[in-house]
Every structure is written in C-alpha cells, then in structure tokens.
Chain A
C-alpha cells in the first residue's frame, strides 16, 4: 500500500458498493487534505451517507480503497479494519439520524466519546480507586469544556430524551470532540437549526478545525452553509462522481447544476 502524501489525510479511490443490484456508490474518488473543511454534496439518495458508512466500515465496499493518515502517523487501509477500530486511528463520525442514548444525560452521552482513551480497567472502576476517580473527573471536565464551547453546558444534566433536534445534533458533535480526532465526519450537522443558528454554525465548524487541529468532512443540504464553510467540495449523483473543486467551481459546474435541477440527460 502506498503512503499518502504529506498534505492528504483521507484518500478514497474507486469506491463502489451495491445493494442488491442498485449501485449506491459507483467508482467515487476524492481526497481530503489536512486542516481542510471538505463538503460532500448531492441530491437525496445520491449515496453520501453510504460513502460515510463505507469510510467508517459500517459497510464493507465491494471495490476501492480508503486510506487514512492515522493519529499515530501511519497510513492505514481502513477497509482492513472493523468499525469499532476506526476511532482509534483518529477518525470519528456523527449520524444523519442522530445516534444518542436517550436514557442518558447530555454529559454522559458526550463522555461515551472518550471511551477508548480510558486507561483504568474494569476492576479499578468497580472499586472506584483513586486513579479511576481522577481519570473520570478529568474526562468530565473535558466534556464540560466542550459543552461550554458549543453553548449547551447549562443543560449538561438533562436527559437526551425529548430534546429538540438542533440540540441533539450538537450533542453528537460534542461527542466527536472527546477523542482528539484527526478527521471528523459530519452527516447533516446543521439539520434542525434555524437560519441564524446555521450562520453561527459555520463559525463553530471553523473554530473546531482551528482549535482541535482537525480536518472536517461534511454532508449538508444547506447550500449557503456548504458554500460558506467548505474549502473544497465533491459532488455526486446516483452514486456517481460529478465534480470536485472550490465552492465557486462547483457552483459553476454544468453537471452539478443539472443534477440539482434534475434534468436527467445533462447528468
């Protein structure tokens, strides 16, 4: 396997996956650079979430390679790993339909994001030894810090059950920040936010990139947000690659325009 070059953090090449004859993703390739905010766009059913599921190994692609520059500095072929191993390399994600534990508080949900970094084992946790307590308190403090940054610290003890969608999306985002990630994958993070909140959210994403030194790969339907915040964008439709480029280039691209206007023959 070839190592990734200096500036690349994620490289997807010739990715394909089919579900019972339907090619959900068909030969898609793109690369995300270190420190980049990268958008993946496409109409409903284009295959965006499926690409994310392939990257995080929830789906095993039929074809193609997904290479990632890990936290440890090595190039990893993600398709050789299991879905629960991916976060250890510094790649963490959110879900389009929000995957939170509704019986737990916001704070506890965020703490799940720190799971892999715990050093104390089960026995020491059971006896609540000093090191176990200290470690738990340190992660609690970190989680509260993150919640403060996202402006929901005052609700940290609220149960997740029944909270508005916009808040849930934020809690999921907070959870990704617990593991010091190198790349965060966000599936429609601004869903459920109103116009002003969406504007704020652009700043939140940029701040995350700068403060946590990460790259961000996001799927989002709000085009103003995507065009505002992304350094580069990849557009797909019916699982097929359309174009990759800066927001300006993508807006001018004929194939992309056609896909969004729905004129079949142009695509």
Chain B
C-alpha cells in the first residue's frame, strides 16, 4: 500500500484545501465578521472561475480564442431556469440538459469554423453569441425578454427546498454546491492538462506541425478543447442563474466574454490558481476596492480602464500572469529564511 500523499504540494490536496478556505466565507458571515453581500461576491468569483477555467483550456492550453463564452453561459442559464421554473423539472436534470444542449451547439459551431482555421472560431463564436443574445431579448415567452427572468432557489435532490425556517442557510447550501463544483473542475482540469490530452493541446498551440507529425488530429483536439470550454461555460451559467435567481439579456454580452479573456491574461494562462486570481481581479476587485477609491471610483467604466492597464503591465512584466508574483514571494521568503537561519 502506498501512503496517501496529504501534503499541500499535492495539487489535488491543495485544491480541496482551497475549497475548505472558501467555506470560511459563510462561516465568517454567520459569525458576523463578514457582510452578507460578501457571499454573493465570492460566489460570483466561483461561477465565473468555472467558465474561465474552461476558457483557459481553450485560450491558454490550446491557443484558440472564443468570444462567445457569455452567449453559451446565458443559453445554459435560460434553459435551466426554464426547465426548473416553467416546466418544474428536477434541478439535477435541468443542469445536465442545460450543459449538454449548449455544448452540442458549440461543437457544431466549432466543427464548421475550425475546419477552416483556428482563428475562425473567434469570429464564429462572436456571431453565435450575438445571435443568442438577440434570442434572449426576442423570445420572451422563454426568457422573459428585457424584463429578465426571476426564479426561485431550486429543490436539491428532490426534497431540500428553501423554507422560511432555513432562509439564511439555503444560500449557504447553494454556495457549498458552487464550491464543490469548482473544486471538482479544478481537479479534473489538473488531471487532464498534465497528461496525454493536455500535452496534445500544448503541442497544438506550440507547433501545429509537430502536433500533426506526432499523430494529433488538429480538428479533433480543437473540437474537444472547445467542447470542454463550452461545457464549463454552460455549467457556470447554470450555477449563476440558480444562485443569483435572475437572468437578463444584459448579463450575457460581449463585455462578459472579453472580461473572461482578460481574467486569463491577467491571472495566468495555463494556470489553475492563476485563472481564479484573474477572475477575482476582474470581477471582484471593482466592487471591493475600486469603487471605494474617492473620486476615481465614480468614473464610469473605471474598472475597464484598470483592466486595460493591468493587461499591459502583466504582458510586459508577468508574461505568465499575476500568479507569477507568488513565485517571486516564495523566492524572497526563501532568501529571508536563508539569511536569518
């Protein structure tokens, strides 16, 4: 019997530990240390991180660009909302359907555009997500149109529902589900990217010629990468709508897709913690920090400007993303330890 490796150096253990850390947020809220709104803020970092991790498989590992992440997220959100709220289907079933349907559409779009060239994926996904957004506005029997679609918390496993008695606990249960999904996605992506599949994506990005000479079918692996990215975008959309309990066409615009791309560039391409750091910087920092800054905080689109500046800084000084900074800290820490021991 091999001993279980429980050190934090084992990535799987560290991901589970990270999940535990995220569970401190509701604990601190219950203890009165953090405000209630923090739960929604961290939850949004979690569901956007799931979409961003999928996009990183595409952008970071495979070197392909999708500008349609928001469209697929939105489609999944509306499908899941419709199935649970209007058709009263079980949440678990809706989740599966709302991941599968956009993914199949994504693979079809990918198949048509990727046969031509990798770059066409960006154009095709942009077009499809704009069409989807228009659909969200127009088909109001399904989406609620411009007024959006409010829903209630789902029934979990067919019997756990929100009641007046568990009013405060139910959001925490939903949050816990988000955390479990995030940790699972982190582990699965880690496993995939360090093995044969991940190397194939790396090869595809690094040298198409080498990839082909080594037997990697470019179309097949591009489609797999895009399928995975779309599936995770869809999962993210489902978790979004059931946590926020509302979806609106304005939530699924090109700006969101671009923000997700920015998160990966800022946080770190091909890096799991880097992705989450990037999502935090892009999606949580504006509310947490920027808006508190006097004068500047009130400038409209100030967050966009900051993101732009951050991207430039990162590209110039941290080509592997802000997550590189942690390595710098480690180096300084080791030096200090050496000096004082």
Q: Bin the interface of chain A by size.
A: 35 or more
The one of B203, B205, B215, B224 that contacts A88, using a Cβ cutoff of 8 Å: B215
- A240 at interface by CB-CB < 8 Å: no
**In this complex, what residue of B is CB-closest to A111?**
B199
Residue in B196, B202, B207 whose CB lies within 8 Å of A118: B196
Q: Are A122 and B210 in contact (CB under 8 A)?
A: no
Bound complex: CA of A211 vs CA of B125, how far in Å? 50
Q: Are A100 and B206 in contact (CB under 8 A)?
A: yes
Q: At the interface, is chain B mostly helix, strand, loop or mixed?
A: helix
Query: Within 8 Å CB of B200, what residues of A?
Result: 112, 115
Q: How near does chain A come to B314, taking the closest CB pair, in angstroms?
A: 16
Q: 8 interchain pairs (CB within 8 A)?
A: A56-B213, A85-B215, A99-B213, A102-B206, A103-B202, A118-B196, A125-B195, A125-B197
Query: Which listed residue (A88, A99, A115, A175) contacts B196, Cβ 8 A?
Result: A115
Instruction: Give chain A nearest CB distance to B208 CB in angstroms.
Output: 9
Q: Which residue of A lies closest to B191 (CB)?
A: A128
Q: Judging by beta carbons under 8 Å apart, are B210 and A127 in contact?
A: no
Measured CB to CB, the closest approach of chain A to B268, in angstroms, equals 12
Q: Give Cα A230–Cα B199 distance, bound, in whole angstroms.
A: 34
Contact B203 A101 (CB under 8 A): yes
Interface residues of B in 77-101 (CB under 8 A from A): none
Beyond A101-B206, A103-B206, whether A116 also contacts B192 by CB under 8 A is no
Q: Report if A84-B192 is in contact (Cβ < 8 Å); known contacts: A100-B207, A103-B270, A104-B199.
A: no
B256 on interface, CB distance cutoff 8 Å: no
Is A153 on the interface with B (CB-CB < 8 A)? no
Enumerate chain A residues within 8 angstroms of B195, measured Cβ to Cβ: 125, 128, 132, 136
Partner of A112, one of B199, B209, B217, B218: B199
Q: Are A116 and B206 in contact (CB under 8 A)?
A: no
Binding site for B on A (CB under 8 A): 56, 58, 82-88, 92-93, 95, 99-104, 108, 111-116, 118, 120, 122, 125-128, 132, 136, 175, 179
A84 touches B216 (CB 8 A): yes
Output the nearest chain B residue to A120 by Cβ-Cβ distance.
Answer: B196
Asked if B298 is at the interface of the complex by the 8 Å CB criterion, the answer is no
Distance in angstroms between the alpha carbons of A175 and B207 in the assembled complex = 14
**Cross-chain contact A84 with B202 (CB below 8 angstroms):** no
Distance in Å: Cβ of B24 to nearest Cβ of chain A: 28
Please determine whether A122 and B199 come into contact, CB atoms closer than 8 angstroms: no
How far is it, in angstroms, between the C-alpha of A108 and the C-alpha of B195 when the chains are bound? 9
Which of these, A99, A100, A112, A127, contacts B188 with CB under 8 Å? A127
Tell me the minimal C-beta distance from B232 to chain A in angstroms.
12
* Chain B stretch 175-214: residues in CB contact (< 8 A) with chain A: 188, 191-192, 195-197, 199-200, 202-203, 205-207, 209-214
Kindly list chain B residues whose C-beta atoms are within 8 Å of the C-beta of A99. Answer: 207, 209-210, 213
Q: How far, in whole Å, are A56 and B214 apart by their CA atoms in the complex?
A: 11
* Minimum C-beta distance from B195 to chain A (A): 5
| CB-based nearest A residue for B210 | A99
Is A100 a contact partner of B210 (Cβ separation < 8 A)? yes
A99 to B195, CA, bound (A): 20
Closest 9 CB pairs of A and B: A101-B206, A99-B210, A116-B215, A99-B207, A87-B215, A128-B191, A83-B212, A118-B196, A84-B212
B270 cross-chain contacts in A, Cβ below 8 A: 103
State in angstroms the CA–CA spacing of A114 and B200 once bound together. Answer: 10
Q: A101-B203, A126-B192 are in contact. List 13 more A-B contacts (CB 8 A).
A: A83-B212, A93-B213, A99-B207, A99-B209, A100-B206, A104-B206, A108-B199, A111-B199, A112-B202, A115-B200, A115-B215, A116-B214, A179-B214
Q: Whole-angstrom distance from the CB of B211 to the nearest CB of chain A?
A: 8
In Å, the complex CA distance between A212 and B216 comes to 23
